[in-house]
Structure 1
Amino acid sequence: MADKQLEAADSSKVWGVFSLVAALLAATVAKKGLNATWKAATGKEPPANPADPDVDIAEALLWATVSGTLVAVARMLASRRAADYYARSTGKLPPGLGADA
């Protein structure tokens, strides 16, 4: 019984690190791509802080919407890919994932 608990704890730690690295990497790549796309489309750097009152409100809203959505989607796709890899490697879904109730 203790062996299964230890194995589950180790599996949970491995999954936690694996999914975190995948999500951070995906967010970084998405942000770099978005920054380059923004600069190409607008000819200027993206707002460093959209909450700054000196940034035009329309630009701040557009940047927050596009960047937030793109980064969230990239992280979700990376997490799904990591979960698929984990499941193929171990034969079971990662801890905490499963069919919706």
Structure 2
Amino acid sequence: MADDRPDVAWRVIGAAVGLVTAWGARKLLGLAWVKATGKEPPLDPDSPEVSMGEAIGYAVVMGVGMSVAQIVVNRTAKKRYDSWRALKQVSPKQ
């Protein structure tokens, strides 16, 4: 019979991985934005001082970049966590 209870350890690890990924992706995408445009990312894309094209471009880059980073990191972390759990369950008890 399968255990339907949520894995609390994975929830904690997943939350931590998510926070670190979001922070790192935002920093990395900000650096890429500066490299590509020569300007700092807009602090407030809704500001009238930011052109419509720049605001939309920034939103697209951040949205896609953050989503891709979350998917890749979460899947990798979950695979490693599941592998570790499988090894832990198979190893002989002393």
SS at match of 1:48: coil
CA contact 1:24–1:75 (8 Å) conserved in 2: no
Picking from 67, 74, 80, the partner of 1:79 is: 74
- 1:66 deviates by 0.6
Equivalent AA in structure 2 for residue 75 of structure 1? Q
Give the whole-Å Cα distance in 1 for the aligned partners of 2:8 and 2:46: 36
Specify the alignment match of 2:59 in structure 1. Answer: 64
Aligned length: 85
Matches within 5 A, 1:1-101: 8=5, 12-91=7-86
**TM-score, normalization by structure 1:** 0.74
SS at match of 1:26: helix
Deviations along 1:15-38, one digit per CA (max 9) or x if unpaired, are: 111111112212211111111111
Runs of 4+ with deviation above 3 angstroms: none
- 1:53 deviates by 2.4
Unaligned runs of 5+ in 1: 92-101
Among all aligned residue pairs of Structure 1 and Structure 2, give the percentage whose two residues are the same amino acid: 33
